[in-house]
């Protein structure tokens, strides 16, 4: 039997409905980002927390352009031939961070498979520029897999970010359909390499979207796989289909189930677990701050 493609997305359960704030801070964040010509994953990935985070005066910077070289089935960031890197982007991110008075900044990037180093040196420059202008800040990077390049990974960690985040995104079985240009084992290997180089002087972090059709044993296995490479911080959130062209939501995971995963994660030894329908990698990222002796 041939079934027609769905033309509407399913109605969201109550716990995923967003109440729009009216804070002036949202407009100020908007103006600042426009003035400094910066991209954010908040907008590019159509994050459902966009209103909340910007109204609190925070945002996640997306460097190296707004065109990604991959086309993951869940992600709303546009896929196209990327433009050249902008040499002054690191200083613009630093200036935005200073003006926003951030004490914890999250910096991510599109995948730049067109560049020999995958954009790693651009990350390094951005971390260094942010640190120079904001000496006390906690810097968290959310990086692509750099095709597991040792040189690229060492370049980023050489700039001493406090938190190195690389998302597993989904369970092993679903990885080929959710991230067809990535592999589950490569992502684990990236996290393992960071720990092998830095030990406990850096916190590693990873996250998954739930609701793509994974089973509970698969989620628990992925969490165990992350702990096996000493991953410190875990985020779990509900996958939401950004457009009808993206992968459909298979299930709305209940808040109670997210709470259960949070407990399971803590019992497995993660230092910090954020698990809830609206959780994203960078959502309330400043709730985990490495202690000063670890910095």
List contacts with ligand SF4 (CB under 6 A).
Answer: 41-42, 47, 49-50, 53, 58-60, 280, 282-283
Q: How near is the Cβ of 281 to ligand SF4 at its closest, in Å?
A: 7
H or E stretch including 259? helix 255-268
- What is the phi/psi pair of residue 99, to 5°? -70, -30
167 and 175 Cβ atoms separated by less than 8 Å: no
Question: How many CA atoms are closer than 13 Å to the CA of 203, on its beta-carbon side?
Answer: 24
- What is the phi/psi pair of residue 205, to 5°? -145, 145
Burial class of 263 by CB neighbour count within 10 A (0 to 12, 13 to 18, 19+): exposed
Strand duo 60-63 + 39-40: pairing: antiparallel
Q: Is 52 helix (H, G, I), strand (E, B) or coil?
A: helix
Q: How near is the Cβ of 283 to ligand SF4 at its closest, in Å?
A: 4
Q: How near is the Cβ of 75 to ligand SF4 at its closest, in Å?
A: 12
Token pair, residue 121, equals 């040196």
Name the nearest CA neighbour of 282 among 58, 56, 60, 104.
Answer: 60
Q: Which is nearer to ligand SF4, 53 or 168 (CB)?
A: 53
Q: How near is the Cβ of 59 to ligand SF4 at its closest, in Å?
A: 5
Q: How near is the Cβ of 42 to ligand SF4 at its closest, in Å?
A: 3
Q: Which is nearer to ligand SF4, 49 or 167 (CB)?
A: 49
H or E stretch including 121? helix 120-133
Q: Which is nearer to ligand SF4, 58 or 69 (CB)?
A: 58
Helix 120-133, helix 89-99: angle, nearest 10: 40
Q: Which is nearer to ligand SF4, 155 or 165 (CB)?
A: 165
Q: How near is the Cβ of 207 to ligand SF4 at its closest, in Å?
A: 11
Q: Which is nearer to ligand SF4, 193 or 203 (CB)?
A: 203
Q: How near is the Cβ of 55 to ligand SF4 at its closest, in Å?
A: 10
Q: Which is nearer to ligand SF4, 47 or 68 (CB)?
A: 47
State how far the Cα of 43 lies from the Cα of 59, in Å rounded to an integer.
9
Q: Which is nearer to ligand SF4, 170 or 282 (CB)?
A: 282
Token pair, residue 138, equals 């906690």
């Amino acid at each position: 039997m041939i079934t027609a493609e769905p033309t509407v997305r399913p109605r969201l359960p109550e716990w995923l409905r967003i109440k729009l704030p009216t804070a002036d801070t949202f407009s100020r964040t908007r103006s600042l980002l426009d003035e400094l010509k910066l991209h954010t994953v908040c907008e590019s990935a159509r994050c459902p927390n966009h209103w909340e985070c910007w109204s609190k005066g925070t945002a996640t910077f997306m460097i190296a352009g707004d065109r990604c070289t991959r086309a993951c089935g869940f992600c709303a960031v546009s896929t196209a031939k990327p433009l050249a890197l902008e040499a002054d982007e690191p200083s613009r991110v630093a200036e935005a961070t200073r003006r926003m008075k951030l004490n914890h900044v999250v910096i991510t990037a599109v995948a730049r498979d067109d560049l020999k180093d995958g954009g790693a040196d651009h990350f390094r420059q951005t971390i260094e520029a942010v640190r120079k202008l904001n000496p006390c800040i906690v810097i968290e990077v959310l990086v692509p897999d750099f095709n597991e390049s040792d040189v690229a990974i060492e370049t980023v960690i050489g700039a001493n970010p406090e938190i190195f985040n690389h998302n597993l995104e989904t369970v092993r079985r679903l990885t080929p359909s959710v991230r067809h240009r990535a592999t589950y084992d490569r992502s684990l290997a990236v996290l393992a390499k960071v720990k092998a180089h830095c030990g406990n002087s850096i916190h590693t972090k990873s996250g998954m979207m739930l609701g793509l059709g994974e089973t509970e044993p698969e989620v628990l296995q992925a969490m165990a796989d992350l702990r096996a490479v000493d991953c410190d911080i875990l985020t779990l959130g509900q996958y939401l289909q950004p457009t009808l062209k993206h992968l459909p939501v298979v299930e709305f995971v209940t808040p109670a189930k997210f709470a259960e995963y949070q407990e399971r994660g803590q019992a497995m030894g993660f230092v910090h677990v954020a698990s809830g329908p609206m959780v994203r990698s960078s959502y309330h990222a400043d709730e985990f701050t490495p202690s000063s002796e670890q910095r």
